[in-house]
Structure 1
Amino acid sequence: MTDASAPAAAEPRARRLHIPIHLRWGDLDAFNHVNNTAMLKLLEEARVRAFWLPGLGEQAPPTAVLESGIHSGVLTLIARQEIEYLAPVPYQRDPLDVQMWFGKLGGSSIEVCYDVMSPVGRAQTLYARATTVVVKVDAGSGRPMRLSAQERAAWEPYLGPAIDYAHRG
């Protein structure tokens, strides 16, 4: 995992996380490409690797600061997800390059943006763009919790423009 990419000259870009995510044979549907449900699972895997504290001995990017789960007292709940598919994702052995940044840091929520790209080292194909709004919630009360100073410090370097979906333009 690397934690930076050069900004494009034509359009300002946020610093991005690059999370390699392997496809599984079962992620393909009858049309031989990654289906909607599998794409949401791939995005979830990238999000967990990028933002949640790792287990013992696991390497994690500097953005991995969230504790989540019933035992931590903190839940991270999905408020909204949106995906725009730009090209079918075929099965491939090399991991996809899931590029991530934040479109917004709210009081208790984060807007995670993704570009799902072809594997590193190949001609770059943008397969999909996506957004997930995650809300940090107190597990006991069910009430939203404010983002901590540590979370903001880790995530602000990756703050950039939210995705402007084609269907909205």
Structure 2
Amino acid sequence: MSDDPLPDVPAAAIVYPITVRWSDLDAYAHVNNVQYLRYFEEARVYAFKDWFGQERDLIDEGMLVVSQAVDYLVPMEFSYAPARVAVWCCDVGAASFELGCAVGGPAGDRTVYARGRVTLVAYDLEGKTPRRLGEVEHAALQRFMGPSPRLRSDRRPGGRG
């Protein structure tokens, strides 16, 4: 974790610098909402390499996003300094796991611009079916466990509580 932690991001999270491109902005000169999902994806790709090792690529083995939820908290404007995107594991099941994510400003900016959750399922690409996570995968994910980010949808009937 960085020396300048983002609020409400667990210590187990890994924070990655992600470049905000001029083309990421919308007509209001704010980062377009779809870009946050791309920032989550980019951080997730880096995290998988760090969590599972360079010799093993979980993405090549098969991993599908099955759901995503995002709270857009504050409009983010362009900066030459990279945004900081935190990613951590919130839950691990037999074949799926959930990641927490937060997009923060560059170093020195403790603003969290968006927060979200992404649920992924391990997938057998050849057999075209979900597969169980292995012991090594479970152990790697457990090392980066933290609480699930609280989202607005959690407060609605049928939400997480």
**TM-score interval, smaller chain:** 0.7 to 0.9
Q: CA RMSD in A?
A: 2.4
Equivalent residue number for residue 22 of structure 1: 19
Question: Distance between the aligned counterparts of 1:138 and 1:62, measured in 2?
Answer: 20
On the 8 A contact 1:108/1:135 being kept in 2, the answer is yes
The amino acid across from 1:81 in the alignment is Q
- Unpaired runs of 5+ residues, structure 2, are 156-161
Q: Secondary structure at the match of 2:47?
A: helix
How many residues are treated as equivalent by the alignment? Answer: 152
- Unpaired runs of 5+ residues, structure 1, are 54-60
Runs (4 or more) in structure 1 with deviation over 2 Å come to: 2-6, 11-14, 61-69, 166-169
Question: Distance between the aligned counterparts of 1:153 and 1:5, measured in 2?
Answer: 28
Equivalent residue number for residue 158 of structure 2: none
Question: Distance between the aligned counterparts of 1:4 and 1:107, measured in 2?
Answer: 34
Percent of aligned pairs with the same amino acid: 32
Q: Which moved more, 1:147-156 or 1:29-38?
A: 147-156
Equivalent residue number for residue 107 of structure 1: 94
Q: Secondary structure at the match of 1:50?
A: helix
* Structure 2 residue corresponding to 1:163, chosen from 134, 149, 152: 149
The normalised TM-score by structure 2 is 0.84
Deviation (angstroms), 1:67: 2.8
Equivalent residue number for residue 37 of structure 1: 34
On the 8 A contact 1:32/1:90 being kept in 2, the answer is yes
Cα separation, partners in 2 of 1:5 and 1:106, compared to 1, 3 Å: farther
Question: Distance between the aligned counterparts of 1:4 and 1:123, measured in 2?
Answer: 12
The normalised TM-score by structure 1 is 0.80
Q: Secondary structure at the match of 1:68?
A: helix
Equivalent residue number for residue 56 of structure 1: none
